Every structure is written in structure tokens, then in C-alpha cells.
A and B are shown apart, each in its own frame.
Chain A
Amino acid sequence: QAVVTQEPSLTVSPGGTVTLTCGSSTGAVTSGHYPYWFQQKPGQAPRTLIYDTSDKHSWTPARFSGSLLGGKAALTLSGAQPEDEAEYYCLLSYSGVGVFGGGTTLTVL
């Protein structure tokens, strides 16, 4: 099974910008991996922020965006808010089989 890698932790200042990345042990991440990004807060179920690399749900704040960057999937948060402090997970698809990354703990400080 492929291994999906994420930064274990990142810190961003309120109002600042941060980029979380998602890499694959099999090589470059492409749109064919249909990257997803999830946000999870303590005691809650995850919720999807981004699907298919860069598509957003209606509830996804405009300050979040998804892209492919340097062979990885990326989630960029522009204008961080205190409520964005959470765990973030990416999910890649390998011919229909999903693999989550280990998650990034984002601190807004």
C-alpha cells in the first residue's frame, strides 16, 4: 500500500498564509489521485474542505484552496482564523483505493 506523507505540524499567525502538502511514496501526485482535504476538530467527525484537487463544497471558506504544487497536493490557507486550528488530512486515491496521510496539526498562534 502506498504511503501518503504530510507535515506533522505547522504553525501560522492569525491573518497569515500557510501551505500544507501531501506527497505520495509512488511518485508525483496528480489529478488522477483525486486529492481530498479534510478538517477535523477534537471530538468531531471529519469534514471535507477540498475534493478532486481544488473543488470546494458550498461550506468551504474561501480562504482555503487546493492545488498541485511541486509533485504534491497542496492546501493553502490564506488569512488564517483562530477557528482554523485543527487537524488536516489529505486523502489520495490509488485506482479506487484510498489512503490517508498521517495528518497535519495546524496551530494558529
Chain B
Amino acid sequence: EVQLVESGGGLVKPGGSLRLSCAASGFTFSDAWMKWVRQAPGKGLEWVGRIKSKSNGGTTDSAAPVKGRFTLSRDDSKDTLYLQMNSLKTEDTAVYYCAYYRDSTAIHYDYWGQGTLVTVSS
């Protein structure tokens, strides 16, 4: 059974940092393309970024509002995806979801974690 479990959310002051983790199981994580999506309270979905599998270059892409502040990474030995968030702003307050959406052979999937809440407030 595929499982994605996010952790690391919480309350942080503006300008602070936080690292989110997404522990994966039930599939070959090293072949997975993964993404982060966030949703501010009562608002719509916002794409944060994605990371390809290492066999596809392991490259990352990030949305304009977080570029230069957020970094996606992965540790295939630990089956874990990370989102390092620096210089946090109040507008980064949201539930953050990780998702497994395709693999290195372009087969598409649709598995989501339960989300972790990040609150940026003084």
C-alpha cells in the first residue's frame, strides 16, 4: 500500500525556517517524480515545486513565489522527500501536501499525503 506521511509543520515566525519531510512507502521511491502542493486556509491549491527521479536528472522546479527561498530535495536511501523553507512569510501559511504523481517511465500515479500545516505568524 502506498503511503506518504508528511511531518515537520508547525508555528514559525516571519523570517524563520522550517524543513518538511515526506516519508514514502509502498512503491519504488527512487523512480518517483514527486511534488509539493500547498493550500492556504480557505483558499485554492498552489503548486510549490517538483523533483524528478535521479534517473531523469533529479532536477527541481519551483514556483515563482517560493523560488530562492524554498528548496526541494530527496534522499532515496531513506525514501524521503524534503522541502526546506527559508525566509518564511505570513503568506506561506498553508497546509503542505506531498504527492507522487509519475515515475521515471512516465507512468502516472496519484497519491497524496495527509498534509502538514505550516503557520507563519509573529
Tell me the nearest residue of chain A to B106, going by C-beta: A52
| Contact residues of A: prevailing secondary structure | strand
Contacts of A51 in B (CB 8 A): 101, 108
> How many residues of A are counted as interface, with CB atoms below 8 angstroms from the partner's CB atoms?
22
* 30 examples of A-B residue contacts, CB within 8 angstroms: A38-B45, A40-B45, A45-B97, A45-B113, A45-B115, A46-B45, A46-B112, A47-B110, A48-B101, A48-B108, A48-B110, A51-B101, A52-B108, A55-B108, A57-B108, A57-B110, A87-B44, A96-B61, A97-B47, A97-B62, A97-B63, A97-B64, A98-B35, A98-B47, A98-B63, A100-B37, A100-B44, A100-B45, A100-B46, A103-B45
Interface residues of A (CB under 8 A from B): 1, 38, 40, 45-48, 51-52, 55, 57, 87, 89, 91, 96-103
